[in-house]
Chains A and B, each alone.
Chain A
Amino acid sequence: MKRLTGFWAFTLLLVLLPIVFPDNYYVTVVGGTALMNAILAVGLNLLMGYAGQISLGHAAFFGIGAYASAILTTRYGWNPWPAMSAGLALTGVLAFLVARPILRLKGHYLAMATLGLGIIVHIILVQTEGLTGGPDGLSDIPGLAIFGWAVDSDLRWYIVMAVTLLLVLWLALNIIASRSGRALRALHGSEIAAEMMGIDTTATKTGVFVIAALSASLAGSLFAHQQSFISPDSFSFFFSIELVTMVVLGGMASTFGAIFGAVVLTFLPELLVVFEDYEVMIFGAILMLMMIFLPQGLFVSGQQLLRRLLARRATGTAKEGSHGAA
């Protein structure tokens, strides 16, 4: 019960926001995008935060999901749902195949390999014009309908993103609390020690890599249907970096931290628009400063601060109590 308190509180927040702020651009539109990014960040956090495996190419799986949905629906007339499933299947197989050789690498070599993977996928999306439309992208991607309920307004997309995020979040929280979750944390601490205790580290790493890729693919499919137009720009190296930043900014190995990071990084450019020409510079500066002064991440540092304050208050009252007794 206690383990899922955060989950229920978060669910309540997601329900209340559009009710308290109806028709608010920042809740339904920017908020909806933030929720989509959060789906990606929660998946990536399992891989990076818990298993300790960096990925600088996560946008690739986001792109594969989006393009699978877009190509199958526009060029072959599939219904969005089987298209989305096909995207998930393709992503799963691909992730499974590359996971083994890539996750053998460590540290900067792993960073480089995942970075390379992301760039290769991006180049393929740009170059296979006959299929993907090349740099111009694909347009007229149909919207989603759930049993006749057409997802055709910002609020409805907000709901779809919120429900999907909650599903992924629930899954992630359960994985973390399970035997596999302990295995992930063990291999983050020391791979050799984990192996000594009988954990199949290769299988565990492959599994979490595939799960992270699948959640990205799912978000990609939703993104394609929501936007109705996609181009390779959305799936470049920069987006991969943005995803990693979301995870680290919130605080590694904190699922709600990842969501917090996704929200901050989605809203930041929106708020910085007022600085016009200075926007890029200020964004870079904020990123640097936050990581220099709060290397633990915003969410985790905040939690620690809160805990320290509470602890101080507790010891303060305890001292007064002992005074009284003396």
Chain B
Amino acid sequence: MFDQILQFLLTGVTVGATYALVALGFAIIYNASDVVNFAQGEFVMMGAMSAVALSAGDGGLPLLPSLALAVLITIGVGILLQRFAIAPAHGASVVTTIIITIGASIFLRGVALLLWGKDIFALPHFSGETPLHIGNATLLPQNLWVMGGAALMVIGVHLFFNHTTQGKAILACACNRTAASLVGINVGMMMLVAYGLSAFLGAMAGILVTPITFTSYDAGVMLGLKGFSAAILGGMGNPMGAVAGGLLLGLIESLAAGLISSGYKDAIGFVILLLVLFFRPSGLFGRASAERV
């Protein structure tokens, strides 16, 4: 029993780490521009699918350059999304921006469908498939890649926002755009950086997890929803809350799938999310908001 639970926890942390990266991307874009980006899951898919496409076949690139190129492509997609879909609609209502990003996600899915069809693809494991044993639970080296990679990126994002001028400039835009531009911050540029960073995190999540979970043109949908749930669970305004929310959601789902029912694991995740919202309407780590009259 204990071994089983250990196994579920290990799986949960791996899945949770992916959710955490997607949720972090959500939180960064939300903080910078007040937009809930429903195309966030598409960044994950774009990263994974272009890595597969670049490295596949005889004429394909070696793994490392194709991964790097895939990440760059996805960052490009993120920047284009900001520049041509979000920026022109500045000042639009919450629902309008939600539909713009949904339109963008359908568009990106359509592009992927056109380029790569409906097949399911995989990437090779980064360092072999010999399982490691922890007690009686097993772990693939790729799981360690996912956890380690996610941890590094979360630390990186934390340092970026707290210890670099650029990061602080983005936070300043989030607080007050006008004031930020008055002190000489290039707000438009900062938005591009925020979307690029968010796309980078999505692409990394996709690349790290694809050897285990595989990918397809529509793989982004569920990941996007999970990332959004995780970000809400943790509290939208708080990036580290989003990370905690991601890990928690991954653990809940993995335990629910193992101990209760795999068919209902997603439902259980959402039920717990709803219960949390009923008692803490601003998420677990979000600050309660006061309405100004």
The listed residue (A123, A244, A285, A291) touching B266 by CB distance below 8 A is A123
As a 0/1 sequence over residues 94 to 109 of chain A, the CB contacts with chain B under 8 angstroms (1 = contact) are 0000000110111111
Do B85 and A288 touch across chains, with their CB atoms under 8 A apart? yes
Interfacial residues of chain B within 25-82, with CB under 8 A of chain A in the complex:
30, 36
Provide the main secondary structure of the chain A interface.
helix
Interface residues of B (CB under 8 A from A): 30, 36, 85, 88-89, 92-96, 98-100, 102-111, 113-114, 221, 225, 228-229, 232, 236, 261, 263-264, 266-267, 270-271, 273-274, 277-278, 281-283, 291, 293
The listed residue (B92, B232, B264, B278) touching A295 by CB distance below 8 A is B92
Do B278 and A278 touch across chains, with their CB atoms under 8 A apart? no
Known: A109-B277, A291-B99. A120 touches B271 (CB 8 A): yes
Known: A112-B228, A116-B273. A281 touches B267 (CB 8 A): no
Smallest beta-carbon distance A168→chain B, Å: 22
Smallest beta-carbon distance A224→chain B, Å: 23
Chain B: CB-nearest residue to A126? B263
B277 neighbours in A (Cβ, 8 Å): 105, 109, 112-113
A245 neighbours in B (Cβ, 8 Å): 99, 102
Q: What are 16 of the A-B contact pairs (CB < 8 Å)?
A: A48-B95, A54-B94, A54-B95, A112-B232, A115-B225, A120-B267, A123-B266, A127-B261, A127-B264, A127-B267, A281-B111, A285-B103, A287-B106, A291-B100, A292-B100, A293-B88
Chain A: CB-nearest residue to B293? A192
Do B94 and A108 touch across chains, with their CB atoms under 8 A apart? yes
Smallest beta-carbon distance A316→chain B, Å: 31
As a 0/1 sequence over residues 111 to 127 of chain A, the CB contacts with chain B under 8 angstroms (1 = contact) are 11101110110011011
Do A282 and B110 touch across chains, with their CB atoms under 8 A apart? yes
Interface residues of A (CB under 8 A from B): 48, 54, 101-102, 104-109, 111-113, 115-117, 119-120, 123-124, 126-127, 190-193, 237, 241, 244-245, 248-249, 252, 277-289, 291-293, 295
The listed residue (A123, A191, A295) touching B96 by CB distance below 8 A is A295
The listed residue (B30, B105, B113, B261) touching A277 by CB distance below 8 A is B113
A105 neighbours in B (Cβ, 8 Å): 277, 281
